[in-house]
Amino acid sequence: MRVNPVAWPLRRIAAALTVSALLAACGNSSAPEAGAARGRPNIVVILADDLGYSDLGAFGSEIRTPNIDALARDGQVLTNFHVTQLCSTTRANLLTGADHHLVGIGSLVDLVLPYQTDQPGYEGQFNHRARTIAQLLRDGGYHTYMAGKWHLGEPGPERWGFERSFALAGTLGNANNFGSQAGLENSADPVFFENGEPATLAPGKFTADHYADKLIEYVDEQRGDRKPFFLYYAVQTPHWPIQAPDQYLDRYSGVYDAGYGAIREARIGRQKALGIIPADFKVHPGTPIGTPSYGIPGPLLHRPWGLLTPLERRQEARSMEVFAGMLENLDDNVGRLLRHLKDIGQYDNTLVVFLSDNGADGNGYPIPPSGYLDNSLENYGRQGSFIYHSVGWADAGAAPFRMFKGFTAEGGISSPTLVKLPHATGASRKLPALASVLDLAPTILELAGMGNPGTQYHGREVAPLEGRSLLPLLRGETAAAHAADAVFAGEVYNHRYVRRGPWKITRADALPFAGGLLANQDWQLYNVDQDRGETTLLATRSVSTLALPAPTDEYSEIFDGLLADWRAYVERVGVALPDLQQ
């Protein structure tokens, strides 16, 4: 089936939501689901990998994601939800409720830089201050099941509270979605582990399919004891290598021939029509032309679609066709998992949270020649291929924001997030309140009746929860999750931001991998209440300790306050910085 992405009919989304709402209304008059008594709720967290803000249908995409979009019907659409700019760090925040520096994940676990080596908080695995929600929930009588990408070092999920798990161990090169070949590394070392023991996928089995199979298996094995469960479905989709089962590879044939600029513009139009962003939103124009781009065939400089050669346009369009098929496969698996919960009478009494670990990816690598990879156009997305997004498609995925994964601009840290509360159907709302991944742990624990667990766990001092429960916001009891002057801050690889009220300062460095060859920048000030697209740079300040005194301007007091917040954050969580930087 071919889809016209520029004229994608909004009525399809509206019709789907209307039909779903009618079905839900009919269901409300029937008897409660078997086994769905209003006891402690089940909890399902679905974490996508490198999913951009505009990649879901509910957030403006042309990609068909009806099962994920259905969560918007039954729940809340969080349009101002923030994560960290990279994978491991968001996962640490999510599972512990604490800043990732405090629990040993100051950087990606498989890429600790020289100035970070041997520094507290950069152990490359959970440290002695970590405590996960899986541990707390299991202690409190929950079954705890995980399937997917771990990326939090060793030991794995079996040591951090998960009763049953099937996990991708995770290094930068081993994310192949078909079996155990370790991607770029082609290593014979085990890639997957079940309950801590080496495991494999069935030949040709796709990871997202297998992970869903495992979670369904785990739930069914222990249904008889009627204990609530926590499911953590942490897929690689749509992280590189961009791959999909054969039946998904040609579903979007021709859809992306118009190019990344046209797709981005069409998505922004739908976002406005859907109410994801206001009609007068100041849209960022996109990554500057000439930015280094390691996509396929790469490395090249980011260029307008019209300046690509015919072959380059076909390669770019085909990579996005595969990406769309990969995401549709995830949607089918989300639907399969949630339908199973309905079939066994547990969906109604379940909290479902869907989010991404960071923004859309535009940071690839040069692909080395090898005898085991086949990156011919005909093999894109199949076993043995290893392809990435280019900067152009990252811009489309991050729409309407600035930059993408790896950066603390809004495109790197904004997640398309959906939350369905237990016993809530047909109550869809769009919530523009500012919220963070750190808010999920206290939300989950409060819903489970466990409250704040404090800072002692089994005789050791652990990092405290840092977020706020979102339940009052989600239940419509308040319009904000945080105080107006609450401080939000983050840092990974010297990419930093601080936000207080409407003001945000952000700073980019040269990323430590090949696709991020961007010149170092000074602190940049934006008013993100009025300009979340970060289109208007208001003022700058140097990060160097050798710089001249800061200039005096109308933003001096604001900058001074935000820089004081930054220094307090660095001291509190133990950020390791390069020499001569503040």
Give the Cα separation of 334 and 231 in Å (integer). Answer: 12
pLDDT of residue 312: 92
Least confident of 164-168, 329-333, 361-365, 511-515: 511-515
Least confident of 116-130, 160-174, 247-261: 160-174
The DSSP bridge pattern shows strands 197-199 and 460-461 to be unpaired
Task: Report angle CA 22, 23, 28 to the nearest 5 degrees.
Answer: 95
For residue 173, pLDDT over 60 is answered with no
- Report domain extents, the chain: 39-484
For residue 511, pLDDT over 60 is answered with no
Mean pLDDT of 344-348: 96
For residue 23, pLDDT over 60 is answered with no
26 is catalytic: no
DSSP string spanning 22-44? HHHHHHHTSPPPTT--SSSPEEE
Mean pLDDT of 240-250: 96
pLDDT of residue 521: 74
143 is catalytic: no
- Higher model confidence: residue 555 or residue 7? 555
Query: What is the phi/psi pair of residue 395, to 5°?
Result: -60, -45
- Higher model confidence: residue 576 or residue 10? 576
The DSSP bridge pattern shows strands 164-168 and 192-194 to be antiparallel
Question: Which listed residue (82, 87, 100, 101) is catalytic?
Answer: 87
Give the Cα separation of 526 and 508 in Å (integer). Answer: 14
pLDDT of residue 47: 99
Least confident of 474-488, 530-544, 546-560: 546-560
Dump pLDDT digits (tens) for 490-501. Answer: 999 999 999 999
Mean pLDDT of all residues in the chain?
Answer: 88
Residue 492: its H or E element:
strand 487-492
Structure token pair of residue 405: 């994964």
CA distances from 526 to 45, 239, 481, 486, 536 (A): 32, 30, 22, 17, 7
Task: Report angle CA 17, 20, 21 to the nearest 5 degrees.
Answer: 85
pLDDT of residue 290: 79
pLDDT band at residue 188 using 50, 70 and 90 as cut-offs: low
pLDDT band at residue 21 using 50, 70 and 90 as cut-offs: very low
pLDDT of residue 124: 94
CB 173 within 8 A of CB 183: yes
For residue 429, pLDDT over 60 is answered with yes
pLDDT band at residue 510 using 50, 70 and 90 as cut-offs: low
Question: Which listed residue (100, 101, 143, 151) is catalytic?
Answer: 151
Dump pLDDT digits (tens) for 381-422. Answer: 998 888 888 899 999 999 999 999 999 999 999 999 999 999
For residue 329, pLDDT over 60 is answered with yes
CA distances from 567 to 40, 302, 497, 498 (A): 41, 35, 11, 10
Give the Cα separation of 39 and 37 in Å (integer). Answer: 6
pLDDT band at residue 519 using 50, 70 and 90 as cut-offs: low
Question: Quick one: which of 537, 75, 11, 535 has its CA closest to 277?
Answer: 535
CB 86 within 8 A of CB 437: no
For residue 136, pLDDT over 80 is answered with yes
**What three-state secondary structure class fits 61?**
coil
Q: 3-class secondary structure for 242-263?
A: CCCCHHHCCCCCCCCCCCHHHH
pLDDT band at residue 183 using 50, 70 and 90 as cut-offs: low
pLDDT of residue 580: 58
For residue 12, pLDDT over 50 is answered with no
Mean pLDDT of 5-32: 39
What pTM did the predictor assign? 0.91
For residue 197, pLDDT over 60 is answered with yes
39-484 to CATH, choices 3.40.720.10, 3.10.180.10, 3.20.20.70, 2.60.40.1120: 3.40.720.10
Structure token pair of residue 119: 């520094």
pLDDT of residue 31: 33
Please list, in sequence order, all residues whose beta carbon lies within 8 angstroms of the beta carbon of residue 414, skipping any fewer than 6 positions away: 53, 80, 81, 82, 83, 359, 398, 401
**Type of residue found at 193:** F
Mean pLDDT of 510-536: 76
